Amino acid sequence: MGSFAAIVLCMLGSAAVLSGTAVAAPQPVFRLASPDLPPGKLFRAGFVANDFGCHGGNRSPALQWSGAPPGTKSFAVTMYDPYKPPQSGWWHWIVYDLPASTAGLAQDAGKAGGAALPAGARQGTPDGDAPQPHY
């Protein structure tokens, strides 16, 4: 099973002004983790697609993040699989307009229809024919 790349976007830099001199503020360290996707391990069946010949649970993993820079307006989460055909890879999950106050997503937040997402967040259509995410 290939590994997904979870990418969180929409980060903005910041600067501090001290005594009339601009000094670069220390940037927070952005961290992304998932208790459902241990590093270096294969995905459990519950987080594998139930489509295209796979027979998993089709649940999105829980995600937590911290360290967003000051001024962050929103987040987007994508799950991209570079190993799934076609040669260009496969977009399994696309969520955007997550409020800047969001620090994570619960397991199965990516259900079809997006009802488990934070208010205002939107879910894009993944690759493939089905109108729902394929994990």
Question: Quick check: 109 and 116 in contact, CB under 8 A?
Answer: yes
Q: What is the pLDDT of residue 11?
A: 25
Q: What is the pLDDT of residue 135?
A: 54
Residues of the chain with pLDDT under 70: 1-25, 84-86, 128-135
Question: Quick check: 42 and 3 in contact, CB under 8 A?
Answer: no
Domains present along the chain, CATH in parentheses: 5-11+28-123 (3.90.280.10)
> DSSP per residue over 63-96, as a string?
EEEE-PPTT--EEEEEEEETTSSSTT-EEEEEEE
Give the C-alpha separation, 58 to 17, whole Å: 48
Whether the full predicted model's pTM is greater than 0.85, yes or no, is no
Question: Quick check: 63 and 31 in contact, CB under 8 A?
Answer: no
Give the C-alpha separation, 20 to 79, whole Å: 43
Q: What is the pLDDT of residue 19?
A: 38
- The answer, yes or no, to whether the previous bond of 86 is cis (omega within 30 of 0) is yes
Q: What is the pLDDT of residue 115?
A: 87
pLDDT in tens, 73-103: 999 998 887 776 667 777 778 899 999 999 9
Give the C-alpha separation, 92 to 96, whole Å: 14
